[in-house]
Structure 1
Amino acid sequence: MAAGYLTTHVLDTARGLPAAGIKIALYRVSGNSHRKIAEAETNADGRTDTPILPQGKFKAGQYELIFFCGDYIDAHGLNGEAVKFLDQIPIRFGISDEDAHYHVPLLLSPFGYSTYRGS
């Protein structure tokens, strides 16, 4: 059994705070096929309460996290426009080491975002 696992969190760089209440969906990607394997919501610390892909379910392959940020941006008055610039943010990435901890955070602002492989 693989000992690795996947975590994520969201930081609101416009407000300088963790982003609470953002729904996140995790998909396993194979060619043009996407299969949802997990769903979570960020807590007060901007993190999910448990790894979004825990040990035992963690395996090599292509994945996609979708962060549903539009409602959060609106709720905090960060948009200022009739049409959201950012709503759903997909991040596609690969897992190759089944015994590693992968951390894929989202740094969010109303008009841009970034990510990286964290620890």
Structure 2
Amino acid sequence: MTRKFDRRTLLQTGLVAAGVAASATSVIAQHAPAKLSTHALDTYRGTKAAGIRIDFSRKDGDVWKLLKTVTADENGRVDEQGPLMTADTIAVGRYELLFYVEEYYKRAGVKLTDPAFLDTVPVRFAIFDAKQSYHVPLYFSPWGILSYRGS
């Protein structure tokens, strides 16, 4: 038996599914302590971006204030140095991760244009709920970037 769906039924089904998914995410987030983490992947060389320098800042009025500078480990993560923010320090606000892409590629011996197309890459994002975890990765090459909110 085939059932014909009209737009209204399809929309309602989608809204219900989205609500269920959001509820599940909220329940999971309530059980894990909140944190902020990142990692970097070099899509040009197909590797984890070991050694990339990352500045972490918070917007205070019109100014970005540096909170810490970290270096990615062999897995392209900063986990060994601890999360960028933990449940004790995470706060609602605007933040920036500044990835030193040109410096990373020069150290790796990759031939870049002069000047390099990308030098530092800022990823600006908001923490809107201090009870949730945020993972903000960067996938990058000498010519492009991709970032998103992960879990």
State the TM-score, normalizing by the size of structure 2. Answer: 0.73
Take 1:71 and 1:24, find their aligned partners in 2: how far apart are those partners? 11
Match of 2:128 among 75, 96, 112: 96
* Counterpart for residue 113 of structure 1: 145
Q: 1:79 to 1:112 in 2, by over 3 A?
A: farther
Question: Which structure has greater helix proportion?
Answer: 2
Q: 1:39 to 1:55 in 2, by over 3 A?
A: farther
Query: How far off its partner does 1:77 sit?
Result: 3.6
Query: How far off its partner does 1:76 sit?
Result: 2.6
Question: Which structure has greater strand proportion?
Answer: 1
Q: Deviations over 1:9-48 (max 9, x none)?
A: 0000111110011111111113311111122110000000
Match of 2:92 among 54, 60, 84: 60
CA radius of gyration, larger in = 2
Any stretches of 5+ residues in structure 1 without a counterpart?
A: none
Structure 1 range deviating more: 34-43 or 104-113: 34-43
* Counterpart for residue 118 of structure 2: 86
Structure 1 range deviating more: 50-59 or 107-116: 50-59
Matched, 1:41 2:78: no
Q: Deviations over 1:58-87 (max 9, x none)?
A: 101111111112111122343432211111
2:106 aligned partner, one-letter code: D
Take 2:110 and 2:148, find their aligned partners in 1: how far apart are those partners? 23
Take 2:111 and 2:36, find their aligned partners in 1: how far apart are those partners? 30
Structure 1 runs of 4+ aligned residues shifted over 2 Å read 75-80
Take 2:109 and 2:143, find their aligned partners in 1: how far apart are those partners? 13
